[in-house]
Amino acid sequence: MPEIAIIGDNFMLSAAFREAIERRCGGLLSIRAMDLPWPDEPMEHGYAKAGLEGLKEYQGDPETILSFTGEAEILVTHLAPLSASMLARLPALRMIAVSRGGPVNIDLAAAKERGIRVVNTPGRNASAVAEFTIGAILAETRLIRAGHEALRQGVWRGDLYRADRTGRELSEMTVGVVGYGAIGTRVVRLLKAFGPRILVADPYVQLSAEDRADGVVQTSLETLLAQSDIVTLHARVTAETTGFIGREAFSRMKRGAYLINTARGPLVDYEALYDALASGHLAGAMLETFAIEPPPADWPLLRLPNVTLTPHIAGASRKTITIAAQEIAEEVARYLAGRPPLHPC
């Protein structure tokens, strides 16, 4: 009877994992579960903690994680850290199932060295983030945020109906989608209903035949920045993309354009973004993720009137929980049956 340890949290509930695994795999499983306090308490984002080198976006005290995991053969988690030194103390562990797109809380090289299978759930929240992105675009371009904030302060912004201040419809704009993965492709699909011109920049992926037939244009990042009224980011953070939306990128963008970032904070040079917004070169921005979370209270972007900010919630939906739990359950079932994983890391 294989032992399965589940470490969930207040979003990816351990109960959701357990129910999905038991439904998919049946009985005869020894399962124990615990939940971490995220998101009510923030994750760790740095690299400097002793014994947790190379990990980021994790939560959980290493000794607590080690003690709970114990002799489990399978560990299911969302945010629990597993560094090289921790894995060395878990000789019975043979599989780690991480319910996120990027398992940055796991030392993948150390797991590979020890012959531990690591799987993840790419695209689990793609639909949620894509849907949120459309809302973010509309909040900026149709002045929803500006009108809301004014009314909250007792100000009736009738001037937002002026021809020189009112918003534009998506059907008259060009939207540039940077990154054509699981989320970017869904954003394109949703945008089509609004009728904008759609540009895509992604040097590693080709457009689908359907998108080409619908008039979506694949182009370079430079061309996309120059021609788009709205630029929405859906790239992964790599050495190549870290800070790649910086001063040069903003200088290429149209005056009066909007930046939407529902991807990752490190993609953007936020000091350069502040200058572009404060100078009026960009009309507005919507920021869902940040390089440091939560951002410091004195962060200059928090004080600008032309920025919408949300606390990294784009991927948070009940459907995301269900999808992730089902995908993890399938991976556990495949491991127990001696079959190859669907999403190996």
Q: What is the pTM of this model?
A: 0.90
Q: How far is CA 321 from the centre of its chain?
A: 14
The pLDDT, as a whole number, for residue 32 is 97
Which amino acid makes up residue 70? G
* Selected catalytic residue, list 312, 327, 330, 343: 312
Q: Are residues 198 and 264 in the same domain?
A: yes
Task: Please give the average per-residue pLDDT across 179-208, as a whole number.
Answer: 97
Q: Are residues 285 and 330 in the same domain?
A: no
Residue 92 confidence class, pLDDT cut points 50, 70, 90: very high
Q: Which residues contact 231 (CB under 8 A, 6 or more apart)?
A: 175, 176, 178, 224, 225, 245, 253, 257, 258, 259, 260
Place of tokens 């002793």: 50
Over residues 279-293, the pLDDT tens digits come to 999 999 999 988 888
* Selected catalytic residue, list 264, 327, 331, 343: 264
The pLDDT, as a whole number, for residue 42 is 86
Chain-wide mean pLDDT for the chain? 95
Q: Which two tokens stand for residue 19?
A: 């129910």
Quick check: is 279 in a domain? yes
Residue 48 confidence class, pLDDT cut points 50, 70, 90: low
The pLDDT, as a whole number, for residue 27 is 72
Residues 5, 21: Cα–Cα separation, whole Å? 12
Total number of domains constituting the chain: 2
Cis preceding-peptide flag for 62 (omega within 30 of 0):
no
Residues 101, 121: Cα–Cα separation, whole Å? 5
Which amino acid makes up residue 102? G
- Domain containing 15 — which CATH number? 3.40.50.720
Quick check: is 344 in a domain? no
Residue 324 lies in domain? 3-124+317-336
Instruction: Please check whether residue 173 is in contact with residue 257, taking contact to mean a CB–CB distance below 8 angstroms.
Output: no
Q: What percent of the chain has pLDDT over 70?
A: 99
Quick check: is 343 in a domain? no
Q: Which two tokens stand for residue 177?
A: 């989608």
Query: Is the per-residue pLDDT at 174 higher than 70?
Result: yes
Residue 177 confidence class, pLDDT cut points 50, 70, 90: very high
Task: Please give the average per-residue pLDDT across 198-212, as a whole number.
Answer: 97
Q: Are residues 263 and 141 in the same domain?
A: yes
Question: At 230, phi and psi to the nearest 5?
Answer: -135, 130
Query: Is the per-residue pLDDT at 89 higher than 70?
Result: yes
Residues 79, 56: Cα–Cα separation, whole Å? 9
Q: Are residues 298 and 327 in the same domain?
A: no
The pLDDT, as a whole number, for residue 315 is 94
Told to judge if 293 belongs to the known catalytic residues of this protein, a careful annotator would answer: yes
Task: Please give the average per-residue pLDDT across 331-336, as a whole number.
Answer: 97
Over residues 262-318, the pLDDT tens digits come to 999 999 999 999 999 999 999 999 999 888 888 999 999 999 999 999 999 999 999
Q: Are residues 322 and 293 in the same domain?
A: no
Q: Are residues 225 and 278 in the same domain?
A: yes
Quick check: is 345 in a domain? no
The pLDDT, as a whole number, for residue 47 is 62
Told to judge if 24 belongs to the known catalytic residues of this protein, a careful annotator would answer: no
Over residues 25-46, the pLDDT tens digits come to 987 789 999 999 999 998 887 6
DSSP collapsed to 3 states, the chain: CCEEEEEECCCCCHHHHHHHHHHHHCCCCEEEEEECCCCCCCCECCCCCCCCCCCCCECCCHHHHHHHHCCCCEEEECCCCECHHHHCCCCCCCEEEECCCCCCCECHHHHHHCCCEEECCCCCCHHHHHHHHHHHHHHHHCCHHHHHHHHHCCCCCHHHHCCCCCCCCHHHCEEEEECCCHHHHHHHHHHHHHCCEEEEECCCCCCCHHHHHCCCEECCHHHHHHHCCEEEECCCCCCCCCCCECHHHHHHCCCCEEEEECCCHHHECHHHHHHHHHCCCEEEEEECCCCCCCCCCCCHHHHCCCEEECCCCCCCCHHHHHHHHHHHHHHHHHHHCCCCCCCEC
Residue of 121, 127, 183, 28 lying closest to 326 (CA atoms): 121
Q: Which two tokens stand for residue 130?
A: 């894509």
Q: Are residues 246 and 268 in the same domain?
A: yes
Quick check: is 326 in a domain? yes
Told to judge if 248 belongs to the known catalytic residues of this protein, a careful annotator would answer: no
Q: Are residues 147 and 87 in the same domain?
A: no
Q: Are residues 150 and 219 in the same domain?
A: yes
The pLDDT, as a whole number, for residue 147 is 95
Over residues 107-166, the pLDDT tens digits come to 999 999 999 999 999 999 999 999 999 999 999 999 999 999 999 999 999 999 999 999
Q: Are residues 22 and 69 in the same domain?
A: yes
Q: Are residues 197 and 289 in the same domain?
A: yes
Q: Are residues 115 and 130 in the same domain?
A: no
The pLDDT, as a whole number, for residue 26 is 84
**What letters, b where the CB count within 10 A reaches 16 and e where it falls short, cover 137-166?**
bbbbbbbebbbeebeeeeeebeeeeeeeee
Q: Which two tokens stand for residue 300?
A: 């200059």
